[in-house]
Amino acid sequence: MIEACIRTKRDKIVSYEISGHAESGEYGHDVVCAAVSVLSITTANNIYEMARIKPVTQMEDGYLYVEIPLSIPEKQGVLAQTLLEAFANSMKAVEKSYGQYITLKFENGGQ
């Protein structure tokens, strides 16, 4: 089971964390794992390449953590939020279609 958590603070996405394996198919043929991997890694890469923000990241086998630094210029922050909202919407779609293999939760870090 993949467990994904998207954290917000002041109505902005500040980080996401993904762990586990979907095990919805044989290794190399697991479409759920592939979808989540592509979405999460592409989002982190686009935050870096497009928004020019170097996110805090940690990656190990079956684990990815991505966090946006708190103090970034507003224009970069707006683009990063657009990318992160697209990621969140895509993850919701994966969970809707493959809920038996993925759990998605949102945590609000407050003000």
Enumerate the active-site residues: 21, 33
Contacts 24+ apart (CB under 8 A), 88-95: 88/6, 88/13, 90/39, 91/4, 91/6, 91/36, 91/39, 94/32, 94/35, 94/36, 94/39, 95/4
